[in-house]
Structures are given as structure tokens and as C-alpha cells.
Amino acid sequence: MLYSYYWRFTMLDAQTIAIVKSTLPAIAETGPALTAKFYDRMFTYNPEMKDVFNMSNQRNGAQRQALFDAICAYGANIENLEALLPAVERIAQKHTSFSVKPEQYQIVGKHLLATIDEMLHPGNEVLEAWAQAYGVLANVFIQREEAIYHEHEAQPGGWRGVRPFRISAIQQQSEVIKSFTLTPVDGKPVAAFHPGQYLGVHVQDAEFANHEIRQYSLTQAPNGHDYRIAVKHEPLGTVSGWLHAKAKVGDIVNLAAPAGDFFLQVTPEMPVTLISAGVGLTPMLAMLHGLAAEKHPAPVTWLHAADNGSRQAFADEVAQTGAQLPHFKSYVWYSHPRTEDAGRFNAQGLMDLSVFADELGDKHRQFYLCGPIGFMQFIARQLLDAGVPNQHIHYEVFGPHKVV
């Protein structure tokens, strides 16, 4: 789908490409200090951009690191579109959930180039080369995002931008996780989605310094009339705190259409293993519902890690949904089980995939992962060490992307 934009990358001439590649080491040496200065500059001169970016990710440095990594990856692969395609698609999907507009790329570009100039003083020739490179990449994103917006509004029940939804149900799913059912205010149908995708949730509250946008995974199969998300209450989470402490049935939030490049893609003969920890089970739950709805004939395995029974969400729903599949098994690890958790889990400690050594050797099996970065790195290493091909491992990172 993105190959139709390849020619836009080739618009850069050889000299521009050479300048960008030759100056990349100097930019790389700055580390995330470059992007930290960039964000500080942009938010000073264009404070309205705070309504687009997740400011929590600014405080913890995650967004600054992600942007720095993206700049370095683009510079290093400026002649190799194929290496950039997955990142372009992932970012474009996320941008549509933020309702990013073309003119905002001009703001970002202006401050990025000004930051490079202020920190490195590379001269006009270098700045012009990076301006051209940025312009080409920005245009690729603008074109891809417009295509996604069009796809969203063209499908049955779809829409462009944001649409008001009413919270129609709230359920406590664990000590720290609540689910929220969201029904369109206009009473019309809602668009389908791929299990594993997320919603862009736009929230405005008098106590918020800015308009806040978050992505939350959908947790059920498409039904055409409502959506359900599940949210963990993070200790300093602005939106998760609002949803857990203030949101009530009847409140209205605005939603961007379902988006995301992480979703279930299997054929009937492919075995599937869904692996999660904590709130990372949310996209896996939608996948499980999707597999059950299709009566997936190949084996399906659910592997989950939680602190204890009070922190494990959707346990009954997983069991009931899995029972609809012809070949389903579940295995749960508790790191710190309580006395009352007896019989609710299979093993104590960290998730050890050697229990399923026979499955790891299945050359057709697909593995889907979601959870904290450290957990996914731990699981990915076990899979790779067992000989699972890289292309059979699929994962989702909540927040700015990191390579697992």
C-alpha cells in the first residue's frame, strides 16, 4: 500500500542524500538532547501543539527518545524506502488517531530545522538538504494519512476526525483496570475494525491544562453498534486518572476511528499464541474474540502474566471465549500470588515458555505479544532462542514505539 509513495522518496537528488548522510553522525552525537530542545522550542512558540502531543510522554522522555530514533533511522535509510515502510505505517496510523493535519507538519519542520541550526550551526547547505529531506518525508506522511482518513470515512459506520460517543457502561475488571463501553451519540452504526487495533480517545476537562488524546486498545470483536476499551489506572496518568476517578455513565468523549498497524492476520490453518502481561492483554482479548467468532480451527493458546488474582482482568471472559474454540488452552503466571489465589493460576514467577516447547517448534504458529517493554523483550528473546522466525513475532508497544 505504501509502495505507491516510493517515487516521493526518490525526488531527493544524490547531493542532498550525500549531505544528509554525511551530517547524520553529528546529529546522532547530540542524542535526545536535540529532540528535547526541539520540543521545548516548539511548545514555546506554538503552545497549541500541546493539544496534539501526549505531555506525559514529554515528561518521562519517551517521546523525545522516539523522535530522535526516528530521525536517525530516516537519515540512515534515506535511500532505502523498504526499511522505513513499517515505521511509516505505524506512525501514520497513530497520527490519524490524533487527527494530525497537514499544516502541523510545517510547524514541526520549522522548529526541527531551527533546532539543528541552533545546536550544530551546520550552514545553509546542510540546512537546505535536511529541509528537503524533511519535506519529502512529511509529504509521504500527509499522503498516507489522507488515504487512511478517506478509508475511515468511506467504510460503513465510519467517520473522519472525531465523533462524540457516550459512556454507556463502566465495569471494574481488576483492582487497577476498568472497561468502558462507548456508544455513538448519533445512534448510527460504527465502523468495523481489525482485532488488535485501538481507538483515539479525545478528552477535554476543566482541570486539564491541555486537550488530551490517548490510544486505548479495543477489547471485543466488532459488533457494529458500540466499542469497548479497557484502561489501567496509571499512578500519574492524566486521562486514565480521569476515566477511573471522574468519568461516569452518560459522559461524552470524542473518538477518532479505529486505527493501528498491529492486528490479527492469520489463515484458518495457522496456530496462534497470544502472550500478554498486565493491561497488555487488551488487544489480545479482541483477538481472542475475533478467533472465537470465526471458530478458528487451528490451536489457540492464551499465555498471561499478572501480579496476582486482584490484578488479573477478564479472567472469566477469557475462559468463556476460549471455550468457543475447538482447540484452546490457557496458562497463567502470577509473580506474587496471594493465599486466596490458589487454583486461579498455573505457575508462580516469570513467564517461562519452555513449558510449551512443542508449540515453539511449530513452523506455522504466529505469536502476538503485548505488555511492558521489559516483559516483551524477555519473551521475544525466549522465542528467538527457540528458533521462532522474526516474522512470526508480532508486538504492540503502548506509547512511543521501541524495538523489542
Nearest by Cα to 88 from 151, 27, 148: 148
22 phi and psi angles, rounded to 5 deg: -75, -25
Per the residue annotation, which of 5, 39, 74, 145 is the catalytic one? 145
> Is there a binding annotation on residue 330?
no
**282 annotated ligand binder:** yes
- Rg (alpha carbons) of the chain, rounded to whole number: 22
Which residue is associated with the grid cell 487512511?
A: 148
Name residue 72's beta-bridge partners: none
Residue 214 is labelled as binding a ligand: yes
Does 217 show up as a binding residue in the annotation?
A: yes
Active site residue 3: no
Give the bridge partners for 330, in sequence order.
302
Q: Does 280 carry a binding-site annotation?
A: yes
278 is in an annotated binding site: yes
Angstrom distance (rounded) from CA 397 to CA 372? 8
Angle at the Cα of 87 from the Cα atoms of 390 and 119, rounded to 5 degrees: 125
Q: At which residue does the C-alpha cell 487488551 appear?
A: 282
Number of Cβ atoms within 10 Å of the Cβ of 260: 23
Whether residue 216 is annotated as binding a ligand: the answer is yes
Hunting for cell 498497524 — which residue is that?
Answer: 261
Q: Is 215 annotated as a binding residue?
A: yes
Decide: 292 and 264 in contact? Cβ < 8 Å. no
CA distance to 85, 100, 148, 263, per residue, from 269 (Å):
28, 39, 30, 18
Q: Is the dihedral of CA 64, 69, 72, 75 positive or negative?
A: negative
The reply, when asked if residue 398 is annotated as ligand binding, is yes
Residue type, 394: H
45 is catalytic: no
What are the distances in angstroms from CA 215 to CA 144, 272, 335? 19, 25, 27
Name the pairing type of β-strands 252-259 and 162-172.
Answer: antiparallel
Task: Identify the active-site residue in 39, 105, 227, 368.
Answer: 105
Q: What distance in Å separates the CA atoms of residue 276 and residue 396, rounded to the nearest whole number?
A: 10
Give dist(CA 9, CA 133) in Å, integer: 8
Question: Does 198 carry a binding-site annotation?
Answer: yes
HSE toward the beta carbon, residue 236, CA cutoff 13 A: 6
Annotated binding-site positions: 95, 198, 214-217, 278-283, 397-400
Show binding-site residues for NADP(+). Answer: 278-283
Catalytic positions, please?
105, 145
Q: Which residues are annotated as a binding site for FAD?
A: 198, 214-217, 397-400
